[in-house]
């Protein structure tokens, strides 16, 4: 076997969250060098600095060193402490960028996390809070992270670029994560969604709904898309609209797609009709890719499988995204866990595209965390 190192070194700014999240969970120090060192504007961006500050808030005793140019970061994780946390997320990225990482850490904290995150709730770049709520929450429940304590609530919407949104996330603590067998996603039984609009005519949301339905009605009768028009203080600082769609299968798999309007002042505006149709097509593509976990949540599922009890977990996924492939490499670096990856050819057209069956034996994470009691 290879020597277990307690320190890892990486190059460049890519996969920044993956590295820091896995460092925090594994207790390993990490050094990241050459962060945009050749850039005209070298070093960490504001949104990355904001992410580091958030990690500092949910841990105790974390040591962070950054060189003068911001091109080298040394991160020595402390204990995952949790509790009540408030964070102003840098508006360069949406709250989803920060929330995805918190979800990975929250079950392993000493105290149940109650986080208030402020900033951008919906933008064209990161997964929205709506999408994470509709897909990651049911996935967490599958791994036994459930109970009343688990909630994501959009208190205020904030579109890019101005933000002004507010999201509350609470999550119970778990000593162990249960292994899963998610091998049969099953057929789609219904489609749900949210069409939202802020600081524009409430008609926008209705127009989105009608155009999305015109496509989806050809496939399934059980469709309901809520319209969400927040007003006044709850509508944030910028105008915009968007749509999140979720297809639910008979076996409790949630596949999702979403689109947000072009942020004010950042390019050609999009018509609500186009947005609705395009989003419906994205959902159909996601359903074709299929699997027991949608594309957005592949890494989350693989992480919980890795940290599960020392037992076999299996999950069927659609094609692995490049981000997921990198995540698997990082899981190997930080936890010495290798997944068995078996390509699956669908028996018939109705099962959609090619899939991969992912298998691993969990590290039994609770043992590492016993010191926290």
Buried b / exposed e across 232-270, counting CB within 10 Å, b at 16+? Answer: eebbbbbbbbbbbbbbbbeeebbbbbbbbbebbeeeeeb
Residues 56/84, Cβ–Cβ less than 8 Å? no
Q: What's the pLDDT tens digit per position in 195-239? A: 999 999 999 999 999 999 999 999 999 999 999 999 999 999 999
In degrees, rounded to 5, the angle at the alpha carbon of residue 326 between the alpha carbons of residues 8 and 69 is: 50
Residues 206/227, Cβ–Cβ less than 8 Å? yes
- Distances in Å between the Cα of 171 and the Cα atoms of 51, 84, 110, 175 are 19, 11, 12, 13
Instruction: Establish how many alpha carbons lie within 13 A of residue 305's alpha carbon, considering only the half-sphere containing its beta carbon.
Output: 29
| 351 pLDDT above the threshold of 90 | no
Q: How confident is the model at residue 371 (pLDDT cuts 50, 70, 90)?
A: very low
For the residues 151-163, what does the mean pLDDT come to?
Answer: 97
Residues 283/295, Cβ–Cβ less than 8 Å? no
pTM of the predicted model as reported, rounded to 2 decimal places: 0.94
Angstrom distance (rounded) from CA 255 to CA 222: 15
- Look at residue 288 in the predicted model and tell me its pLDDT: 95
């Amino acid at each position: 076997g290879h020597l277990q190192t307690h320190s890892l070194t990486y190059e460049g700014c890519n996969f920044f969250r993956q590295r820091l999240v896995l460092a925090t969970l594994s207790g390993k120090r990490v050094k990241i060098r050459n962060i945009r060192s050749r850039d005209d504007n070298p070093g960490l961006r504001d949104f990355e600095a904001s992410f580091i500050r958030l990690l500092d808030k949910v841990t105790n005793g974390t040591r962070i060193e950054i060189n003068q140019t911001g091109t080298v970061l040394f991160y020595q994780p402390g204990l995952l402490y949790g509790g009540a946390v408030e964070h102003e997320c840098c508006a360069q990225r949406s709250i989803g960028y920060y929330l995805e990482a918190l979800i990975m850490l929250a079950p392993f904290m000493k105290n149940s996390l109650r986080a208030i995150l402020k900033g951008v709730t919906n933008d064209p770049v990161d997964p929205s809070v709506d999408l994470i709520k509709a897909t990651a929450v049911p996935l967490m429940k599958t791994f036994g992270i459930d109970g009343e304590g688990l909630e994501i609530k959009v208190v205020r919407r904030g579109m890019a670029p101005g933000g002004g949104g507010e999201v509350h996330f609470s999550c119970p603590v778990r000593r162990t994560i249960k292994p899963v067998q998610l091998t049969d996603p099953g057929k789609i039984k219904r489609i749900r969604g949210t069409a939202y609009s802020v600081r524009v005519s409430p008609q926008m949301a209705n127009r989105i709904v009608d155009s999305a339905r015109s496509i989806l009605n050809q496939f399934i009768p059980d469709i309901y898309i809520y319209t969400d028009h927040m007003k006044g203080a709850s509508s944030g600082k910028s105008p915009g609209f968007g749509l999140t769609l979720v297809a639910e299968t008979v076996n409790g798999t949630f596949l999702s797609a979403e689109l947000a309007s072009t942020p004010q002042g950042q390019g050609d505006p999009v018509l609500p009709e186009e947005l609705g149709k395009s989003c419906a097509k994205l959902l159909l593509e996601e359903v074709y890719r299929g699997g027991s976990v949608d594309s957005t949540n592949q890494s989350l599922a693989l992480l919980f499988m890795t940290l599960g009890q020392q037992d076999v977990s299996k999950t069927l996924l659609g094609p692995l995204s490049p981000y997921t492939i990198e995540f698997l490499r990082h899981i190997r670096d930080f936890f010495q866990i290798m997944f068995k990856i078996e390509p699956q050819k669908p028996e018939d057209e109705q099962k959609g595209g090619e899939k991969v069956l992912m298998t691993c034996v969990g590290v039994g994470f609770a043992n590492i965390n016993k010191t926290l009691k």
